[in-house]
Every structure is written in C-alpha cells, then in structure tokens.
Amino acid sequence: MCLAVPARILSINGYEANVEFGGVHRAISIQLTPAVQVGQYVLVHTGFAISVVDEHEALETLKLLKQMGDLEPISPEKIHSPSFGERSDEIC
C-alpha cells in the first residue's frame, strides 16, 4: 500500500518546493506538478508532489490521518483471531 500525504506549498525555487506537513517542513520535487503555486496543497509521495488538491480535501485528509495516529494499536492476538476484520460495534 502506498500513501500520499497532503502538504502546503510554502515556497518554490525552480522544480523544488518547501512544504509543510502539520508542522514539519520538507523540500520536495514539483517536477510532476510544475503549475503549482505557493499556498496550494499537493499530495506528496516519496518526495514528489503528484497532484494538486483543494484546501478542504487536504485539511480533511490531514484530520483523518491525525485521528488514525491517535488510535490505540491492535494487538497481534486480535489481528490473528478468526473474527478480525468483521464489522462490530466493539471498539478496538
């Protein structure tokens, strides 16, 4: 499974951009999205902006990723149980 994470463009220098992922700053390549502008959001995968996304979608995705990070880990015993993955009202 691959994951692309939304990031906001802070600055652009040629085909490189400085972006922010929820407080973390990184340099990424924008060769695949050369029309992107400062202030826009992009999906970043392996250091490359792969598409431009609107702000609402980006913020909603970041919110969901944060919620996923706040979840409690699932024990190996639960993962290997026969009922793992079945829908339940039980909270893991």
* Segment 13-31, tens digit of pLDDT: 999 999 998 788 999 999 9
30 closest CA partner among 43, 18, 12, 15? 15
Q: Tally the C-alpha atoms within 13 A of residue 16's C-alpha that lie toward its C-beta.
A: 5
Which residue, 69, 64, 31, is CA-closest to 50? Answer: 31
The whole-model pTM stands at: 0.73
Residue spans of beta strands (DSSP E) within the chain: 5-13, 16-21, 24-29, 41-45, 48-53
Q: What percent of the chain has pLDDT over 70?
A: 76
Show me where the domains of the chain are located: 5-79
Q: Domain 5-79, what fold? A: SH3 type barrels. (2.30.30)
